[in-house]
Amino acid sequence: MLMISITFFIIMILLSSSSSYAEDDVLCLKGLKNSLTDPSGRLSSWSFPNSSSSSICKLTGVSCWNAKENRILSLHLPSMQLAGQIPESLKLCRSLQSLDLSDNDFSGEIPLEICSWLPYLVTLDLSGNKLSGSIPSEIVDCKFLNSLALNENKLTGPVPFQLTRLDRLQRLSLSDNDLSGSIPADLSHFGEDGDARKKNGYGAGESRDDGDWIRVLKSRKLVQVALFQKPIVKIRLVDLIVATNSFDSDNVLVSSRTGVSYKADLPDGSALEVKRLSCGYELGEKLFKSEVNRLGQIRHPNLVPLLGFCVVEDERLLVYKHMVNGTLFVRLQGLDWPARVKVGVGAARGLAWLHHGCETAYLHQLWFGKLVSSSRDSNDSSFSNGDLGEVGYVAPEYTSTMVASLSGDVYAFGVVLLEIVTGQKPLSINNGEDGFNGSLVDWVSKHLSNGRSKDVVDRCVIGKGYDDEMMEFLRIACSCIVSRPKERPLMIQVYESLKKLGDRYGFFSEHSDEFPLIFNKQEH
């Protein structure tokens, strides 16, 4: 079966990617501070008045995904005279993408588990320390790694051949150690400075800081934004710059590994959503435009269409209609059970159409569309975007195969259904139980194995005459999140099961045959 292949980012969907990681992230920083020797008092400003304090984003060396979230994006602690071993508490910083502990006095071995603790690392800099032992081959499990600096340590043994499997790696520095043997041939393209040979666009290891990329956009402000439907008034890049207040942090709607979305307030009172992709320039402008143009033609009542895009040098901007109703988690507050069923049926309908309504299936994990659950004329149940590639939604097999699949889409959608029925976030369980530290999938599985299925249902909706229906909804969700991909249902089967629940309320009947689902019914 043919797939639309867009290798550089993972889709936007109705689910909430702004989950609060505050408690775990605070524990991560507490553990880090308590386990290290800090002779210069560089971490003395690290204080934790409570477990969910937003002040962690203002601590020395800590950067969060945006000003409105407590999730730690990077820890930048170079040249602070910190000493000790690399602490296990780092595993609680689950959304961490960049870790810089360079030029300190860290000793001991690099933990074998570092990439299971922090599987989404893009940058890892442990250079200039006193680390000993071998380079763990398990570093290959950091599959998103772009930059790895281990130079100027006391590392011994051979360079693991497994590093050649890090196909995103652009910078590798291993000099000034006591390593033995030869460097694997597939790593020979890294220069003495650690950088891969430069291609078009950014050289390896280079990036633009916030000021740089905004200056680039402003220098090309008259570039026209490509729109897929002929507009009454043409939009230029300068219009987006003004509408987002120069992409100010106050305009940030959501952040994810694939980029940051900004609200753009237009002069006529309407609003757009502009996503600046954090990756994708390596795809090349021609191929990027080809894929975007193809996807820009997709129209479905349960998909928020991609309105347009703009390319300036290595910057890629995507333009959508702004959905005013917020994230799934926020919108669930106050929704009764029939309204939640409508959410699930509508979203399932849109995703099923991507899988089965087109001869060439669109993998939602590789697509930058958005799902909504409302009808064409109502936004009562629509939601803003998140990333299906965020922690908590990714199917377990993806971390080993790195191959997106239809069954992976189904797994992620199952997590969305769990959010709807439980009222919980994918990685932040808040139900008054002490001691639980895991994902929503783990939490639900634990309760089901103990015969306590009703305990996972949102207390706001249980006991109001819909309990049997909720159990059926939960059963459908759990069928999507089984560990073996081949045992998961097809998306069309998920939709048909949910539609039976929705039919009791008369949802979507007028559109039921408008977008037939006739393709790919035998494939995962």
Q: How far apart are CA 460 and CA 335, in angstroms?
A: 9
What contacts 112, CB < 8 A, 6 or more positions away? 136, 138
For 489, phi then psi, to 5°, come to: -70, 160
201 against 136, higher pLDDT: 136
Q: Is residue 394 a part of any domain in this protein?
A: yes
> What is the pLDDT at residue 519?
57
352 against 70, higher pLDDT: 352
Mean pLDDT of 451-473: 91
Q: Which residue reads 């790895």 in tokens?
A: 148
As given in the structure block, the two tokens for residue 429 are 């369980």
- Which of 422, 488, 484, 430 minimizes the C-alpha distance to 455? 422
CB-based contact 523:501 (threshold 8 Å): no
Domain boundary among 321, 336, 351: 321
Mean pLDDT of 267-288: 76
Q: Is residue 464 a part of any domain in this protein?
A: yes
182-222 per-position pLDDT tens digit: 667 566 545 444 444 333 332 223 344 455 788 888 888 88
Shared domain for 159 and 239, answered yes or no, is no
Q: Is residue 180 a part of any domain in this protein?
A: yes
> What is the pLDDT at residue 279?
60
Mean pLDDT of 222-245: 83
Q: How far apart are CA 327 and CA 254, in angstroms?
A: 9
Shared domain for 270 and 316, answered yes or no, is yes
Shared domain for 453 and 317, answered yes or no, is no
Q: How far apart are CA 88 and CA 109, in angstroms?
A: 12
Q: Spell out the SS3 assignment of 213-233.
A: HHHHHHHCCCCECEECCCCCC
What contacts 448, CB < 8 A, 6 or more positions away? 456, 478
Shared domain for 438 and 349, answered yes or no, is yes
Q: Is residue 205 a part of any domain in this protein?
A: no
Q: Is residue 245 a part of any domain in this protein?
A: yes
Q: Is residue 30 a part of any domain in this protein?
A: yes
> What is the pLDDT at residue 90?
93
Shared domain for 247 and 373, answered yes or no, is no
CATH number at residue 163: 3.80.10.10
Shared domain for 356 and 419, answered yes or no, is yes
CATH number at residue 237: 3.30.200.20
Shared domain for 221 and 294, answered yes or no, is yes
Shared domain for 423 and 470, answered yes or no, is yes
Q: Domain limits at 142?
A: 20-187
> What is the pLDDT at residue 515?
54
CATH number at residue 500: 1.10.510.10
Q: Is residue 426 a part of any domain in this protein?
A: yes
| Count of structural domains within the chain | 3
As given in the structure block, the two tokens for residue 409 are 């889409």
Domain boundary among 268, 294, 321: 321
Shared domain for 116 and 182, answered yes or no, is yes
* Residue 468 CB burial class (10 angstroms; 0-12, 13-18, ≥19): exposed
**Mean model confidence pLDDT for the chain:** 76
Q: Spell out the SS3 assignment of 229-260.
A: CCCCCCCEHHHHHHHCCCCCHHHEEEEECCEE
103-127 per-position pLDDT tens digit: 999 999 999 999 999 988 888 999 9
Least confident range from 269-278, 326-335, 447-456, 504-513: namely: 504-513
Shared domain for 382 and 313, answered yes or no, is no
354-365 per-position pLDDT tens digit: 787 766 666 555
> What is the pLDDT at residue 68?
57
